[in-house]
Amino acid sequence: MFRKLFLATSFVAAAAAAQAQDIDVQHYRFHLKLSDSSDRIEGEARMEILFPKETSAFSLDLVGPKGSKGMTVTEVGSYANQKWRQEGDKIRFEFDAPVNAGQKHTFLVKYRGIPADGLIISKNKHGERTFFADNWPNRAHHWIPCNDRPDDKATFEFIVTAPSKYQVISNGELVNREIKMTANGPSGHVELTPLVTHWRCDVALPTKVMVIGAARFAVKTFADSPAGIPVSAWVYPQDSTKGFYDYALAPSIVKFFSEYIAPFPYSKLANVQSKTIFGGMENASAIFYAEESVTGDRKWEDVIAHEIAHQWFGDMASEKSFAHLWLSEGFATYLTNIYFEKKYGADALRKRLEADRKQVLDFVKSSKSPVVDSTSNLMSLLNANSYQKGGWVLHMLRQEVGDAAFQKIIKAYYNKYKGGNAETRDLQAIAESVSSRELGYFFDQWLYRPGVPRLRFEEKRDEDGLKLKIYQEGLVYRLNLEVELEVGGRKERHVVRITGPETEFKRKGNVTGKLVIDPDASLLFEQVK
């Protein structure tokens, strides 16, 4: 997702458990009823669950009643040999006899209530009522019973009944949209009943990106969509002219990433103006952007690129746990930079990297956390470590192995983990295999260690030439530092290999002009005096 800056400290979420799963949800089928008379929803969830090991009991996540909000379970059905109870934010199931490893069973949960979070029921900037799911990181269980963790992926469908004035968008493909007519009273007067919309996603996804959105929308499918992949804009009718122009960037971005990474993994891509608390949220095949993303001047191009990059990394290839969030956010950040490099040139990339570096340096002044961070405050992970430093790590990996090998690493990592989950060491193994290099030091120093290198430079010139001393203050890194200088009227580039607390670089000759350290923004470091 693309952060709104206040979020890093404004919300504390309980961490999803990192232990091995006791259940593996195969498929969800959600029936939901939305109303304009109140914020109360009625839901029915049918879940096909695989039990990886012998089990006598298990739990599903669903936020229970707290004051006037929360969900009340009214009925549980299907599998006969079970007892259940709703307890706090869990539905707990116990079996009369253990379920054997490898067995599948279907469970039905009926419930109702007012969501405190997860499904945002409010009014948009035009004063019109809207319903938008907003699940990240583990907020889906505020409105749907589920196994709310990033490493349990399932196929799913939403069947949503809502007042007929609303259009409903969701992941996957539209199965059916129907308004039924019924006779009312002795006169046979015909009235419209609510609209029933059925979406189905046959790609297994984590709950963090399973969504619905219901609002009055103007919808446009772009003529330049990739073959077989309709790319569309869903915007408030009052904003349709600006919104269709802004979101028309999406087809070309999809094409770029489809070539750079792999074919687009879903059957469609809807770009939706919404009430998400984030600047953008990468819900698979149905990206939700903040209302203010519609400007009419395409100022949010980087946000659109970032969320589209997530369709591959974060949605299809997901992190095993939120400690490895950079595998989503760092990838989306750097792939956005690569897109800008391709479209606008190397100077655009350099400027974006310099801006990202500044954010990292500002962040590490107050943070003692590494990029791979097991904190239970999941919203606090929306920081410069996960985004900008994660992106910088990929940029430095690219410098380390070269452009061709780097792209092969990206492709190989995606192809191995699409539809699944990975952690940082899995990426390391792919990078080492593709590049035929040992990269443990690289991943250790950049991802498992807090902070950044702190370099101090001493430059001396005399009749013999130039001498540059480089000192590492604090922890020692293994670095490649590029310098640019002018000798005899010609510019030269040199790569200085830094492996210890003090390194010396010499260049004999008539060295003139300014010595430029890291001219292309290739290394993440803090320069100290």
In a domain, 16, yes or no: no
How many Cβ atoms from other residues are within 10 Å of residue 267's Cβ? 16
pLDDT for the residue numbered 261: 98
In a domain, 2, yes or no: no
Q: Which domain holds residue 157?
A: 22-216
Contact predicate 232/220, CB 8 Å: yes
Contact predicate 486/525, CB 8 Å: no
What 3 state SS string does 181-219 have?
EEEECCCCEEEEEEEEEEEEEEEEECHHHCCEEEECCEE
Q: Which of 469, 470, 463 is nearest to 508 (CA)?
A: 463
Examine the fold and report which residue of 408, 431, 447 is the final residue of a domain before the chain moves on: 447
pLDDT for the residue numbered 20: 62
In a domain, 149, yes or no: yes
User: Which tokens in the block code for residue 153?
Assistant: 């992926």
Are 113 and 140 part of one and the same domain?
yes
Tell me the CATH number at 472: 2.60.40
Examine the fold and report which residue of 216, 246, 262 is the final residue of a domain before the chain moves on: 216
pLDDT for the residue numbered 13: 39
Tell me the CATH number at 285: 1.10.390.10
Are 337 and 485 part of one and the same domain?
no
In a domain, 105, yes or no: yes
Q: How many Å apart are CA 523 and CA 119, to the nearest integer? A: 42
Contact predicate 110/83, CB 8 Å: no
Residues 305-345 have pLDDT tens digits of 999 999 999 999 999 999 999 999 999 999 999 999 999 99
pLDDT for the residue numbered 194: 80
Contact predicate 284/203, CB 8 Å: yes
In terms of Cβ atoms closer than 10 Å to its own Cβ (0-12, 13-18, 19+), residue 83 is exposed
**Residue recorded with tokens 């006791």:** 22
- CA–chain centroid gap for 151, Å, is 14
Tens of pLDDT along the chain (529 residues)?
876 543 333 333 334 444 567 899 999 999 999 999 999 999 999 999 999 999 999 999 999 999 999 999 999 997 667 799 999 999 999 998 899 999 999 999 999 999 999 999 999 999 999 999 999 999 999 999 999 999 999 999 999 999 999 999 999 999 999 876 655 555 555 555 689 999 999 999 999 999 999 999 999 999 999 999 999 999 999 999 999 999 999 999 999 999 999 999 999 999 999 999 999 999 999 999 999 999 999 999 999 999 999 999 999 999 999 999 999 999 999 999 999 999 999 999 999 999 999 999 999 999 999 999 999 999 999 999 999 999 999 999 999 999 999 999 999 999 999 999 999 999 999 999 999 999 999 999 999 999 999 999 999 999 889 999 999 999 999 999 999 999 988 999 999 999 999 999 999 998 998 999 999 999 999 999 8
| Separation of first and last alpha carbons in the chain | 37
Are 374 and 404 part of one and the same domain?
yes
CA angle 245-287-372, nearest 5°?
125
Examine the fold and report which residue of 253, 285, 316 is the final residue of a domain before the chain moves on: 316
In a domain, 15, yes or no: no
Are 365 and 484 part of one and the same domain?
no
Are 229 and 157 part of one and the same domain?
no
Angle, to 10 degrees, between the axis of helix 390-401 and the axis of helix 424-435? 10
How many Cβ atoms from other residues are within 10 Å of residue 9's Cβ? 12
Are 289 and 336 part of one and the same domain?
no
**Residue recorded with tokens 């959105």:** 213
What is the pairing mode between strands 218-221 and 231-235?
A: antiparallel
Are 254 and 150 part of one and the same domain?
no
In a domain, 8, yes or no: no
Beta partners for residue 497, in sequence order: 480
Are 397 and 421 part of one and the same domain?
yes
In a domain, 10, yes or no: no
Domains: count for the chain:
4
pLDDT for the residue numbered 78: 73
**Residue recorded with tokens 């687009």:** 264
Q: Which of 422, 512, 527 is nearest to 470 (CA)?
A: 527
pLDDT for the residue numbered 65: 97
pLDDT for the residue numbered 1: 81
pLDDT for the residue numbered 250: 98
Are 200 and 240 part of one and the same domain?
no
User: Which tokens in the block code for residue 456?
Assistant: 């101090």
Are 354 and 420 part of one and the same domain?
yes
Are 423 and 503 part of one and the same domain?
no
For 309-349, the DSSP string reads HTTTBTTTBEESSGGGTHHHHHHHHHHHHHHHHHHH-HHHH
In a domain, 460, yes or no: yes
Are 76 and 195 part of one and the same domain?
yes
